[in-house]
Amino acid sequence: MTFSRWLRSNSEHALLRDAQRRMAAKYDANPPARPHDVRDRWWRQVFAPVYRLLPWGLRRVLMQRIPGSHRKGWPKPEYISPNDQ
């Protein structure tokens, strides 16, 4: 697994768990399991809250700088001219 793929996978997981924890607190539901080890604790208790505090513009710049599937753009549409039909 490449570094960028590993980074994306871990960050997605941490952000998902953080969102689940916040929704559980908001709706008085069962929260996800607590972090198991130091790595899990860092991702969920340091990375996720700091990431949430970043403004969207900075998040977008960071995502564009790190290689990975999120850098793929939409394919250019193939327009058909009305004269070609």
Domain range spanning residue 21? 3-69
The DSSP 8-state label assigned to residue 54 in this structure reads: S
pLDDT in tens, 3-16: 878 888 888 899 99
The SS3 of residue 20 is helix
Taking residues 26-45, report their average pLDDT: 90
Instruction: Quickly tell me which residue has 């994306």 as its tokens.
Output: 8
Residue 36 covered by a domain = yes
Residue 83 covered by a domain = no
Mean pLDDT of the chain: 84
pLDDT in tens, 55-77: 999 988 888 787 665 656 667 77
Q: Does residue 17 contact residue 32 with C-beta atoms inside 8 Å?
A: yes
39/10 Cα distance (integer angstroms): 10
**Number of compact structural domains in the chain:** 1
Closest CA to 34 of 49, 20, 54, 47: 20
Residue 8 covered by a domain = yes
Residue 85 covered by a domain = no
